[in-house]
Chain A
């Protein structure tokens, strides 16, 4: 478990170094996630990589443990609301309405776009298949 956590932290550290060194406008942990994904994919091809937490489901178990209670990790930032009570007393209703409408719009537009593009792709596929047949 400690080895898995260590691997996850190493990936995050590498991600932070990468982002800072190149002054990229993106979060280090997201690059860390890509590094861990690349390591997992590389492990399946290269036998020598499959050791320590990268073998026998080690890092998989560690990651599931972290993700099982993802909700908990947002609680400390959420409690920060106690610092903003005077601002919320003045503008709270407007802020809540703005956020609620925006979330609703974002959910609807995103799910509609995903389904629409998926459907267009599915419609395109039957047309492609006959053309793959060898011509007589």
Chain B
């Protein structure tokens, strides 16, 4: 056993233990900040955890692969958390059943808007073809979007970054936007943020209102289905 702090670092920096601890610790700090500001939109815990950990990795020269060795245990829980959305859906089934028609229409129209707007805007901004393709599925949850991206031959890791940025932007913007527009229907507010910003939007919706959270969860799940079908069609129609 060496007492040299450098060799201790060399050992620890390769273990999942350190990076899992860093992920949880930074998140606990970011979440406490968010709570202290009364869940202010700009105190978004995902955003602040993300840049703090990224800065720490860059300062210590740690590769993302090494970091992910520890963080994968957290990442894995995205799947079970999606399954767990069945519980709030079940508990609010009567409110949901009443709104089934507005949900389905808003799902198709919103999903088409998300895909068409990002493809046309990215082309208008003169982004290269590979980047346009990688941004197309940005409104669905990370694992699904990366799958779509791979099937298009795009850069799946860029898609993951676009997905997270989209989620954070939607989660920050939704509350001030909806308040300013005087929209008080939390079903509609939740559904919109779940569709535009998947799980990060859903997490935000649960912070604001339980019903908004349920509708966001439904929008996120349904959008994963519709986007998988619409992205290949939109890409063939809009990109030649």
Contact = CB atoms under 8 A, between A and B. Distances in A.
A and B: real partners? yes
A23 interface: no
B133 interface: no
B229 interface: yes
B135 A99 contact: yes
A81 B164 contact: yes
Contact of A99 (B79, B166, B183, B192): B166
Interface residues of B, number: 106
A97 interface: yes
29 contacts: A12-B80, A25-B229, A28-B79, A29-B80, A30-B224, A37-B86, A60-B91, A63-B84, A67-B206, A71-B27, A74-B199, A75-B49, A78-B47, A82-B54, A84-B161, A91-B128, A91-B131, A94-B126, A99-B135, A99-B165, A99-B166, A102-B138, A106-B170, A107-B173, A109-B110, A111-B181, A111-B191, A114-B187, A121-B102
Interface of A: 5, 8-9, 11-12, 15, 25-30, 32-37, 40-41, 59-60, 62-64, 66-67, 69-84, 87-88, 91, 94-111, 113-115, 117-118, 121
Interface of B: 23-24, 26-27, 31, 44-47, 49-50, 53-54, 57-58, 64, 67-68, 71-72, 74-75, 77-91, 93, 99, 101-103, 105-106, 109-110, 113-114, 117-118, 121-122, 125-128, 131, 135, 138-139, 141-144, 147, 157-158, 160-170, 173-174, 177-178, 181, 183, 185, 187-189, 191-193, 195-197, 199-200, 202-204, 206, 219, 221, 224-225, 228-229
